[in-house]
């Protein structure tokens, strides 16, 4: 997400609250939502179905709880944190694809290990 401090725009990962230092790879969703690479890696492995229906912070769509999703299990309170930020499986895959393509980001994935359905 974005916030303003002393006239400066600060971008942070909605999911863990880390401020962007212009180095950490981050990816943007709708309405200024942002996810960092660390969170993406955790999301890829830990996303699971469960709970009530949810609205994805990245694409703003609402899904039933049966769709796999992820939110940070223990985010440290910080001004850049978006409490309750959640990402759907489809966006997790899209983000992985985007980071994979980015030559400046040291991240590769095997889509076969993270199929649309599993």
Q: List residues binding Zn ion (CB under 5 A).
A: 13, 15-16, 36, 39, 56, 58-59, 88, 91
Least distance from C-beta 5 to Zn ion, angstroms?
19
Of the pair 9, 78, the CB lying nearest Zn ion is at: 78
Of the pair 16, 27, the CB lying nearest Zn ion is at: 16
Q: Which residues contact 103 (CB under 8 A, 6 or more apart)?
A: none
Work out the angle at residue 72's Cα, subtended by the Cα atoms of residues 111 and 84, and round it to the nearest 5 degrees: 115
Least distance from C-beta 59 to Zn ion, angstroms?
3
Reference 70, options 100, 40, 99; nearest CA is: 40
């Amino acid at each position: 997400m974005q916030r303003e401090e002393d006239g400066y725009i600060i971008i942070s990962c909605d999911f863990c609250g880390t401020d962007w230092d212009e180095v950490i790879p981050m990816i943007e969703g709708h309405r200024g939502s942002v996810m960092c690479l660390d969170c993406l890696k955790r999301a890829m492995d830990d996303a699971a179905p469960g709970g009530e229906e949810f609205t994805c912070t990245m694409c703003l769509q609402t899904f039933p709880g049966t769709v796999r999703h992820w939110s940070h299990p223990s985010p440290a309170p910080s001004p850049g944190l978006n409490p309750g930020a959640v990402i759907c499986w489809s966006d997790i895959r899209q983000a992985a694809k985007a980071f994979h393509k980015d030559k400046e980001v040291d991240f590769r994935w095997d889509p076969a290990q993270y199929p649309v359905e599993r």
